[in-house]
Amino acid sequence: MTAQRTYIAIWLALLVLTGITWGVSYLDLGLGNAAAALAIASLKAALVALYFMHLRNEGRLVWAFALFPLGFLALIIFGTLSDTLFR
Partner 1 sequence: MTDHATDTSPADRGYLTDKGFRSWALTLDHKRIGVLYLFTTLFFFLVGGVIALLMRLELLTPGPSLMNDHTYNVLFTLHGAIMIFLFIIPGIPSGLGNFFIPLLIGARDVAFPRLNLLSYWVFIGGIVVILASLVSPMDTGWTFYTPYSAKTGAAVATLSFGIFLVGMSSILTGLNFIVTTHRLRAPGLTWMRLPLFIWGMYATSIIQVLATPVVGITFLLLAAERLFGVGFFDPAKGGDPLLFQHFFWFYSHPVVYVMILPAMGIISEVIPVFSRKAIFGYRAIAYSSLAIAFIGFLVWGHHMFVSGMSPVAGVIFSFLTFFVAVPTGVKVFNWIATLYRGSITFESPMLYALTFIFLFIIGGLTGPFLGALATNVHLHDTYFVVAHFHYTMMGGTVMGLFAGLHYWFPKMTGRMLNETVAKLAWAVTFVGFNATFFVMFIMGYHGMPRRYAEYLPKYHADNVFATAGSWILAVGVAIMFANFVWGMLRGEKAGANPWRGLTLEWQTPSPPPTENFEEIPTVTDWPYGYGKKVVCR
| Sole window of 1-9, 28-36, 52-60, 65-73 interacting with partner 1 (rule: CB under 8 A) | 65-73
Site mask for partner 1 (CB under 8 A), range 20-59, x = bound: ----------------------------------------
**3-class secondary structure, 85:** coil
Site mask for partner 1 (CB under 8 A), range 66-85, x = bound: --xx--x--xx--xx-xxxx
What is the chain's alpha carbon radius of gyration, rounded to the nearest angstrom? Answer: 17
Degrees to nearest 5, angle at CA 63 with 62 and 68: 100
